[in-house]
C-alpha cells in the first residue's frame, strides 16, 4: 500500500473518531442540561404547591386569631397583603420577596396570639399551628431541593466548554429561591406556645 494513502486513511479515521466523540459529548451534555432544567422546574412546582398550601391556611389562622384579637387590624392586613403577594409570585425572585414578607407577617400574628391564653389552648388553633409547622417544614425541604437543582444546572451551564454550547441552545441560569431579607427567614415563625 501507498504510504500517502495510509496516511490519508489514518487522518480520515482520526477525524471521524473525533467527530463521533464530539457528537456524543454534545448529545450527552444537551440531555443532561434538559434533565437538570426539568428537575429545577419540578422542584419549583413543589415549592409553589407548598406555598399555596400555606396561603390556604392563612385565612383560617387569621380568622381564628381575629376572633380573640379583632382590634389588631394592621397585623391582619399585613398578613392578607403577604398572602396575596405569595399567591401572585410567578418566579423565584418574586417568591423570595414574598417569602420574607410572609414570614414577618406570620411572626406578627403569632406574637398577637401569645397575649390570649384562651386562643393558645383552642383545639382548632393548635391544629392550625401543627399544620403550619408541617407546611413550613415542607417549604424548607422543597426550597433546599430546588436550590440544589439550581446549583447543579447553573454549574453545568457555566463550566467550559458547556458554557458555549448551553447558551447556543438557549439554556439560561435559574434563580435561587432566596430572600432579600435573610433575617426574616432565619427562623420559621414561632408557632409553639
Q: Report pLDDT digits (tens) over 125-160.
A: 888 888 988 999 999 999 999 999 999 999 999 998
| Helix axes 92-113 and 73-88, enclosed angle (nearest 10) | 160
Arithmetic mean of pLDDT over the chain: 86
Q: What is the helix (H) or strand (E) element at residue 82, kind and residue range?
A: helix 73-88
Name every residue whose Cβ is closer than 8 Å to that of residue 88 and which is 6 or more positions away in sequence.
94, 98
Q: What is the helix (H) or strand (E) element at residue 87, kind and residue range?
A: helix 73-88
Three-point CA angle 101, 107, 110, nearest 5° = 140
Nearest CA to 166 out of 177, 155, 157, 153 is that of 157
Sorting pLDDT into bands at 50, 70 and 90, what band is 182?
low
Q: How much is the average pLDDT of 19-45?
A: 94
Q: Report pLDDT digits (tens) over 57-97.
A: 988 888 888 777 777 778 888 888 998 998 888 888 888 88
Q: What is the pLDDT of residue 41?
A: 94
> Model pTM greater than 0.85?
no
Amino acid at each position: 500500500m501507498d504510504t500517502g494513502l495510509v496516511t490519508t486513511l489514518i487522518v480520515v479515521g482520526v477525524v471521524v473518531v473525533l467527530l463521533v466523540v464530539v457528537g456524543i459529548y454534545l448529545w450527552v451534555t444537551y440531555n443532561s442540561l434538559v434533565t437538570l432544567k426539568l428537575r429545577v422546574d419540578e422542584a419549583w412546582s413543589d415549592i409553589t404547591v407548598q406555598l399555596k398550601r400555606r396561603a390556604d391556611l392563612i385565612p383560617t389562622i387569621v380568622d381564628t386569631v381575629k376572633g380573640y384579637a379583632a382590634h389588631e387590624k394592621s397585623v391582619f392586613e399585613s398578613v392578607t397583603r403577604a398572602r396575596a403577594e405569595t399567591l401572585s409570585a410567578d418566579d423565584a425572585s418574586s417568591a423570595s420577596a414574598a417569602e420574607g414578607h410572609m414570614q414577618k407577617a406570620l411572626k406578627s400574628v403569632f406574637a398577637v396570639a401569645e397575649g390570649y391564653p384562651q386562643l393558645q389552648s383552642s383545639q382548632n388553633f393548635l391544629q392550625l399551628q401543627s399544620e403550619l409547622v408541617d407546611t413550613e417544614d415542607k417549604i424548607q425541604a422543597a426550597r433546599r431541593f430546588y436550590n440544589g437543582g439550581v446549583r447543579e444546572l447553573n454549574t453545568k451551564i457555566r463550566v467550559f466548554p458547556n458554557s458555549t454550547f448551553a447558551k447556543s441552545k438557549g439554556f439560561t441560569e435559574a434563580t435561587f429561591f432566596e430572600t432579600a431579607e435573610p433575617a426574616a427567614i432565619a427562623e420559621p415563625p414561632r408557632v409553639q406556645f
